[in-house]
């Protein structure tokens, strides 16, 4: 980059080139004119903030801004830099919560498999603060939201909001949007412990039978969740190309599973009949819009509770997976096979990478047997069980 004593005439005489280039002013160090291939000429001034970073400022275009005006602007910025004033840092602090949230999504959330869900959580928590400068966000406001969710009875959900807010405010602080991390020190709503609620087979049957009175969309969804023992998101988001009717199974791609690994789910006779009876909506088996999977589980759960015996203790949809694991273990199913059906890592060993691949492929048949037996127990109908050769 050349440095010369610029004049308005010499700047006007600069010709565009194939690539953009800069010419620096020898009188005001840090000031330069940038010439674009289009012929546009822009004044740029660069100066290191005292005790801080190097900052670049765009001052305007020539000839709207003359050389003397550009030098005057540069002198003002130079004085501020010597005093430690950082205009760009101040501008960052004036950014709105929504602007920083969008930046967070682009720089971080898009890389996460659960990024969309995390963005939804942050939108819910920060909606009323969207227009505020990010620097004005206070810890007490965030804690008040978390406490409000907890007071509604959703203590575990409140913990999820706390985690989302802590991660976001940490990002904002590290990027210089705030002078302190206002999310550091937020309190959890509850201390989470593994649930000890185990649905009995009788209770699972009651839920399965109660689903008969749900809508044509929710009845097959609830029943398929029970029969496959899979995570709610895996079945709710089921797509047409993921079902192999010939092999009687669901093939979940890695992008759709919690552990980021492909997963195969055998379809017992009742499960296969359910999937075969559904007409996908724009490729989605469970959708009202044809664009996104169905939502509204809390409402459907309340409907089910009204259909179940009054003496039945509180339960969650996730308890269905625990009930499957417990019941099948009690009938003699291998813990490793049950774990693979649930798409957990096998807990009984720490196999090598080669062994894990080999074992997974060899466990497909016993996994099918376990799910067939589970379907027979739940529906109390006979199942076409494939026996394992001894």
The 8-class DSSP code of residue 128 comes to: G
Strand residue runs (E) in 31-84: 31-35, 41-48, 54-62
Same domain, 273 and 148: no
47-53: average pLDDT: 85
- Helix crossing, 139-151 with 155-174: angle to 10°? 160
**Both tokens of residue 11?**
């700047």
- pLDDT tops 50 at residue 368: yes
Give the residue from 56, 85, 114 where a domain finishes: 85
The whole-number pLDDT of residue 195 equals 62
Percent of residues, the chain, with pLDDT higher than 70 = 89
- pLDDT tops 70 at residue 188: yes
C-alpha–C-alpha distance, residues 88 and 120, integer Å: 30
Same domain, 77 and 103: no
Q: What is the pLDDT of residues 275-311, one digit of tens each?
A: 999 999 999 999 999 999 998 898 999 999 999 988 8
Confidence of residue 384 (pLDDT cuts 50, 70, 90): very low
Same domain, 112 and 228: no
75-84: average pLDDT: 89
353-381: average pLDDT: 76
- pLDDT tops 50 at residue 356: no
Same domain, 208 and 329: yes
Pick from 376, 364, 389: which is nearest to 268 by CA?
Answer: 376
For 70, the domain range is 2-85
Pick from 128, 142, 124, 145: which is nearest to 178 by CA?
Answer: 142
Same domain, 266 and 130: no
322-329: average pLDDT: 93
Total structural domains within the chain: 3
The whole-number pLDDT of residue 357 equals 44
The whole-number pLDDT of residue 251 equals 94
Task: Please check whether residue 77 lies inside any domain of the structure.
Answer: yes
Same domain, 45 and 105: no
Give the residue from 174, 191, 219 where a domain finishes: 174
C-alpha–C-alpha distance, residues 208 and 385, integer Å: 21
C-alpha–C-alpha distance, residues 23 and 120, integer Å: 48
The whole-number pLDDT of residue 93 equals 61
Walk across the sheet containing 249-252 and list its strands.
Answer: 243-244, 249-252, 263-266
Q: What is the pLDDT of residues 124-164, one digit of tens each?
A: 999 999 999 988 899 999 999 999 999 988 888 899 999 99
CA atoms within 13 A on the CB side of 221: 30
What contacts 329, CB < 8 A, 6 or more positions away?
335, 338
Same domain, 38 and 163: no
Task: Please check whether residue 179 lies inside any domain of the structure.
Answer: no
Same domain, 370 and 285: yes
- pLDDT tops 50 at residue 81: yes
Pick from 18, 27, 118: which is nearest to 74 by CA?
Answer: 27
Torsion sign across C-alpha atoms 182, 187, 193, 199: negative
Is residue 8 within 8 A of residue 22, CB to CB? The reply is no
Task: Please check whether residue 231 lies inside any domain of the structure.
Answer: yes
Rounded to the nearest angstrom, the gap between the alpha carbon of residue 272 and the centroid of all alpha carbons in its chain is 31
Confidence of residue 88 (pLDDT cuts 50, 70, 90): low
C-alpha–C-alpha distance, residues 188 and 80, integer Å: 43
- pLDDT tops 90 at residue 261: no
Q: Average pLDDT of the chain?
A: 87
Which domain CATH number covers 125?
1.10.150
Task: Please check whether residue 114 lies inside any domain of the structure.
Answer: yes
Which of the residue ranges 103-107, 220-224, 355-359 would you say has the lowest mean pLDDT?
Answer: 355-359
Q: What is the pLDDT of residues 213-258, one digit of tens each?
A: 999 999 999 999 999 999 999 999 999 999 999 999 999 998 898 8
Same domain, 286 and 247: yes
With vertex at residue 240, the alpha carbon angle to CA 223 and CA 284, rounded to the nearest 5 degrees, is 70
Is residue 124 within 8 A of residue 90, CB to CB? The reply is no
Percent of residues, the chain, with pLDDT higher than 90 = 65
- pLDDT tops 80 at residue 362: no
Write the DSSP assignment of 166-217 as a string of letters: HHHHHHHHHTTSSSS-TTTTPPPSS----------HHHHHHHHHHGGGS-TT
- pLDDT tops 70 at residue 347: no
Task: Please check whether residue 227 lies inside any domain of the structure.
Answer: yes
More confident call, 94 vs 359: 94
Is residue 270 within 8 A of residue 377, CB to CB? The reply is no
Pick from 106, 189, 92: which is nearest to 145 by CA?
Answer: 189
Task: Please check whether residue 104 lies inside any domain of the structure.
Answer: yes
- pLDDT tops 50 at residue 346: no
Task: Please check whether residue 390 lies inside any domain of the structure.
Answer: no
Find the largest Cα–Cα distance for the chain.
95
Same domain, 220 and 323: yes
Is residue 275 within 8 A of residue 285, CB to CB? The reply is yes
Residue 154: asked if its preceding bond is cis (omega within 30°), the reply is: no
The whole-number pLDDT of residue 207 equals 96
Give the residue from 85, 110, 142 where a domain finishes: 85
Same domain, 341 and 279: yes
Which domain CATH number covers 49?
3.30.160.390
Q: What is the pLDDT of residues 335-344, one digit of tens each?
A: 889 999 999 8
Task: Please check whether residue 189 lies inside any domain of the structure.
Answer: no
Burial class (CB in 10 A: 0-12, 13-18, 19+), 69: middle
Same domain, 138 and 260: no
More confident call, 232 vs 86: 232
pTM of the model: 0.54
More confident call, 379 vs 178: 379
Which domain CATH number covers 210?
1.10.443.10
Is residue 329 within 8 A of residue 338, CB to CB? The reply is yes
SS3 label, residue 104: helix
51-65: average pLDDT: 89
């Amino acid at each position: 980059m050349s440095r010369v004593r610029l004049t308005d005439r010499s700047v006007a005489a600069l010709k565009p080139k194939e690539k953009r280039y800069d010419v620096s002013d020898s009188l005001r160090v840090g000031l330069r004119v940038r010439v674009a291939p289009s012929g546009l000429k822009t004044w740029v001034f660069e100066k290191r903030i005292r005790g801080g970073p190097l900052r670049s400022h765009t001052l305007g275009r020539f000839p709207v801004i003359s050389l003397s005006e550009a030098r005057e602007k540069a002198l003002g910025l130079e004085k501020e830099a010597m005093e430690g004033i950082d205009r760009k840092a101040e501008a960052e602090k004036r950014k709105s919560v929504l602007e920083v949230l969008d930046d967070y999504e682009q720089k971080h959330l898009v890389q996460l498999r659960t990024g969309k869900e995390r963005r939804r959580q942050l939108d819910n928590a920060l909606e009323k603060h969207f227009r505020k400068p990010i620097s004005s966000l206070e810890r007490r406001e965030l804690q008040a939201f978390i406490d409000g969710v907890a007071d509604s009875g959703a203590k575990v959900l409140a913990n999820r909001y706390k985690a989302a807010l802590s991660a976001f405010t940490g990002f904002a602080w590290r990027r210089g949007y705030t002078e302190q991390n206002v999310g550091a020190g937020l309190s959890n709503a509850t201390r989470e412990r593994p649930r000890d609620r185990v649905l009995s087979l009788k209770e699972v049957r009651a839920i399965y039978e109660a689903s008969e009175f749900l809508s044509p969309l929710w009845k097959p969804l609830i029943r398929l969740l029970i029969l496959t023992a899979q995570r709610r998101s895996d079945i709710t988001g089921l797509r047409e190309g993921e079902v192999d009717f010939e092999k009687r199974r669901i093939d979940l791609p890695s992008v759709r599973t919690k552990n980021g690994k492909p997963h195969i789910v055998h379809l017992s006779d009742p499960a296969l009949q359910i999937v075969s009876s559904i007409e996908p909506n724009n490729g989605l088996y469970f959708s009202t819009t044809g664009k996104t999977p169905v939502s509204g589980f809390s409402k459907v759960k309340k409907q089910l509770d009204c259909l179940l015996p009054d003496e039945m203790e509180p339960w969650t949809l996730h308890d269905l997976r625990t009930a499957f694991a417990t019941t099948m273990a009690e009938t003699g199913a291998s813990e490793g096979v049950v774990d693979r059906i649930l798409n957990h890592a096998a807990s009984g060993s720490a196999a090598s990478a080669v062994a894990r691949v080999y074992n997974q492929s060899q466990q497909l048949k016993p996994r099918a047997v376990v799910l067939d037996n589970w379907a027979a127990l739940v529906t109390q109908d006979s199942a076409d069980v494939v026996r394992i050769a001894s």
